[in-house]
Amino acid sequence: MSDESPATLRRIAEEGARLAGRVLAERFQGERTIEYKGGIDLVTDADRAAEAAVLGFIRQHYPGHAILAEESGASKGSGLRWIVDPLDGTTNYAHRVPHFCVSVGVEGPDGVLAGAIYAPMMDELFSAARGEGATLNGRPMRVSGTTELGHSLLCTGFPYDVHERPEGPVGLLKRFIVRAQGMRRTGSAALDLAYVAAGRFDGFFEFGLKPWDVAAGSLLVQEAGGTMVRIDGAPFQVGIGDVLACAPGLASQLISESRGFLADIGWVPPAPRA
C-alpha cells in the first residue's frame, strides 16, 4: 500500500487494533500463561498472540515500514514507524479485570500521524488522524471544559519500578489527591489518555511510560483539543515517558503544581528514548 495519508493510516490503525482486540476478547475467560519480565512487569500468551495479529496486519499493508512493539521490540524499515502495544493493562487482563486495550500509533519525522486505541470488552474505538480530529466509535470527541483543579477528576498510574523509586509517582499523587475533586488509577495508561481525550477524565499524569503507551493516546488528546506535555510542562516527545495530559483550562494549574513538586524533590528530566 502506497497511500500514507493520515486518514488511511488511521483506518489501518483502527482495523489492526480491532483485530488484536478480538484475540484478547476470545482468550479473556480462558486459561492463560503468565510470565514475569522482571519485578511486577508481566506478559501473557495473549499479549504475544495479539501482537502477532496486529503486526501481521500492518506488514500486509506497509511491508517496508519500521515497527516498535512492546513484546517483540524494534524492527527496522524506511519511512514511517508503527508503535504498538498489543495489550495495555496486562495486569488487569491477567486478573480478569476487563479494563485493557490495544494501542496502535504511527509516527513520521515530525510526530504521530494517526492512532487508534481499542477497548474490546467495551467495544470502544478511540482514533485520530493529524488535522482531522478525534473520534469515539466514529463520533467526534472533545476534552472536558473543566477549568478548576478542585472540580477535576484526575487519573494516574505507577511505573514498574515504583517499588524502587516511589518518591516521584507517589509524591505527585499525594500532591494532587488533596487538590482535585477525585483521583483514579485504572491500570492502563493508553486508556487513561483516551479517556482524557473523550472528556471522561480531566487530566492524567504518569512517570516512566514507554513509546507504545503514549504514541496513539497523545494524538487523541491533541486532536480532541487537549494539552499534551511532559510532566514538567516541556513540549511532549514520544520518547520521553513522563507525561501530563489535560483539558486546556487546567493546563496552567496542573503544570504549576507539577513543577513545584518536581523542584521540591530535585527531579532531573530523563533523556529521550528511541
Q: Structural domain boundaries of the chain?
A: 6-140, 149-265
Q: Average pLDDT in the 199-225 region?
A: 97
Q: Residue 73 corresponds to which cell in the numbers above? A: 521490540
Long-range contact set of residues 33-37: C-beta below 8 Å, sequence gap at least 24: 34/94
Least confident of 3-12, 126-135, 264-273: 264-273
pLDDT at residue 14, rounded to an integer: 99
Q: Compute CA distances 23 → 20, 65, 110, 169, 201, whole Å.
A: 5, 23, 32, 32, 28
- Model confidence at 158, in pLDDT bands (50, 70, 90)? confident
pLDDT at residue 92, rounded to an integer: 94
Q: For domain 6-140, give the fold.
A: Fructose-1,6-Bisphosphatase; Chain A, domain 1 (3.30.540)
DSSP 160: T
Q: What is the pLDDT of residues 258-267, one digit of tens each?
A: 999 999 888 8
Question: Which region, left, alpha or beta, applies to residue 20 given φ > 0 means left and ψ of -120 to 50 means alpha?
Answer: alpha
Surface-to-core class of residue 167, CB atoms within 10 Å of its CB (0-12 exposed, 13-18 middle, 19+ buried): exposed
Least confident of 108-112, 167-171, 205-209, 251-255: 167-171
Distance CA 142, CA 223 (A): 8
- Asked if pLDDT for residue 234 goes beyond 90, the answer is yes
Q: Average pLDDT in the 203-220 region?
A: 96
Whether 55 and 70 have beta carbons less than 8 Å apart is answered as no
> If you classify domain 149-265 with CATH, what class do you get?
alpha beta
pLDDT at residue 66, rounded to an integer: 96
- Asked if pLDDT for residue 165 goes beyond 90, the answer is no
- Scored b (16 or more CB within 10 A) or e, 172-205 reads bbeebeeebeebbebbbbbbbbbbbbbbbbbbbb
pLDDT at residue 266, rounded to an integer: 84
Q: Average pLDDT in the 149-164 region?
A: 83
- Asked if pLDDT for residue 237 goes beyond 80, the answer is yes
pTM: 0.93
pLDDT at residue 188, rounded to an integer: 98
Distance CA 15, CA 2 (A): 17
> Residue 27, Cβ neighbours under 10 Å: how many?
16
Q: What is the pLDDT of residues 20-48, one digit of tens each?
A: 999 999 999 877 676 665 554 556 788 88
- Asked if pLDDT for residue 160 goes beyond 90, the answer is no
- Scored b (16 or more CB within 10 A) or e, 229-257 reads bbbbbeebbbebbbbbbbbebbbebbbeb
> Residue 100, Cβ neighbours under 10 Å: how many?
26
DSSP 270: P
